[in-house]
Amino acid sequence: MYRSFLEPAMDFDDASVLVTGGTGSFGRRFVRLLLERCRPRRLVVFSRDELKQSEMREALQAVLDADTFRRLRFFIGDVRDRARLELAMREVDYVVHAAALKQVPTAEYNPYECLRTNIGGAENVVWAALRNQVRKVIALSTDKACNPINLYGASKLASDKTFVAANNLSGDLGTRFSVVRYGNVVGSRGSVVPFFRRLAEQRSETVPITDPRMTRFWITLDQGVNFVQSCFALMRGGEIFVPKIPSMRIVELARAMLPWARQEVVGVRPGEKLHEMMISEDDSRSTVDLGDRFVIEPVFAEWERTSFAAEGFPRVPDRFAYASDTNDEWLDGAGLQRLLRETPA
């Protein structure tokens, strides 16, 4: 089943919004769609790459009217720099934290850099949001944070814990923090889809496959953006929101994109799982089913909130786990082609 995840809609009209990692795949799409749907007072793109900011500014200026474009702000900064974050978040109402070091091999080879950005950066975002009395913060996570076996996943798990626990610190400031966790994004930088697309354009006779058994969750950029926007409307603080999305076997993905190519098994890379998981059996004890998504509720909540379970939403079954190989929903070739048509090349 294809889900848009746009409901419930969040009204960002006349609000000030900041996106860390705003020049990444998610950030660019989030900014574009938010400006198409809402009239924010100010939309801040916070990132450390001046070239990407310049390219993004030029691309948006070419398609936006003058009144919409003037609402944009581009801040050079690094989430490792707490003081710069504090300045950037002045008078900001909502924050989307998308900045992270995401490449598994890079994190394994450069562990301290990964920790400084993904864990230290998370702490700095929390601190800056509290200092500026931001209303709501949503941090983007990953399926690799559930039962992690690599440093990237472990660092994002620590980040998730940081944002959930941050609700204990807000007191009468009222700032609320939540997390969104989802799987592979079709067409994002570093994903296998752009790589397979390049091979298809080259009419490659072979396509590398890590392992024939491998499965992954898949979501489009637009679905990811919609999901984050709708979670802003739902969040009470401390939740980890998980969308219900389909799985696909890597061999089927390769066959759908390069049907003529011979598949060559090259082996699983260090730190890579055969299957990804977004909710573990241990998490299931505090997980609620909202219909189009799951919510892992905080196991402790020293702040005022009403649980979804208390409102009558059903808990998931005992020993439930949400994993890509045991998923109830699967993508076939036709379903993948639909997602690809919605994904910019």
| CA distances for 95 relative to 17, 132, 151, 227, angstroms | 6, 11, 25, 15
Selected residue with higher pLDDT from 340 and 121: 121
What are the pLDDT digits (tens) for 38-75? 999 999 999 999 999 999 999 999 999 999 999 999 99
pLDDT band at 340 (very low <50, low <70, confident <90, very high): confident
Question: What average pLDDT does the chain have?
Answer: 93
In this predicted structure, what is the pLDDT of residue 1? 67
Q: Judging by DSSP bridges, how do beta strands 94-97 and 136-140 pair with one another?
A: parallel
pLDDT band at 190 (very low <50, low <70, confident <90, very high): low
The sign one gets for the Cα dihedral 43, 304, 169, 225 is negative
d(CA 72, CA 55): 14
- Of 176, 119, 128, 117, residue with least CA distance to 18: 128
The verdict on pTM exceeding 0.85 is yes
Q: Kindly state the percentage of the chain with pLDDT values over 90.
A: 80
Lowest mean pLDDT among 121-125, 207-211, 234-238: 207-211
Per domain, the residue ranges of the chain are: 16-341
In this predicted structure, what is the pLDDT of residue 233? 96
CB of 14 closer than 8 Å to CB of 41 = yes
- Of 317, 181, 332, residue with least CA distance to 257: 332
What are the pLDDT digits (tens) for 194-206? 888 899 999 999 9
Strand 94-97's sheet: what is its strand order?
72-76, 42-47, 16-20, 94-97, 136-140, 176-180, 240-243, 293-296, 287-289
What fold, for 16-341? Answer: Rossmann fold (3.40.50)
pLDDT band at 310 (very low <50, low <70, confident <90, very high): very high
| CA distances for 183 relative to 63, 173, 201, 224, angstroms | 30, 33, 26, 10
- Token match 């920790």: residue? 115
Catalytically annotated residues: 144
pLDDT band at 81 (very low <50, low <70, confident <90, very high): very high
In this predicted structure, what is the pLDDT of residue 197? 87
d(CA 136, CA 129): 9
In this predicted structure, what is the pLDDT of residue 300? 85
Report, as an integer, the average pLDDT of 11-38.
95
In this predicted structure, what is the pLDDT of residue 344? 60
What are the pLDDT digits (tens) for 268-303? 888 889 999 999 999 999 999 999 999 999 998 787
- Of 61, 278, 30, 14, residue with least CA distance to 156: 278
**Per-residue pLDDT for 327 more than 60?**
yes
What are the pLDDT digits (tens) for 254-265? 998 989 999 999
CB of 146 closer than 8 Å to CB of 107 = no
pLDDT band at 319 (very low <50, low <70, confident <90, very high): very high
In this predicted structure, what is the pLDDT of residue 166? 97
Partners of 96 in the β-ladder: 19, 138
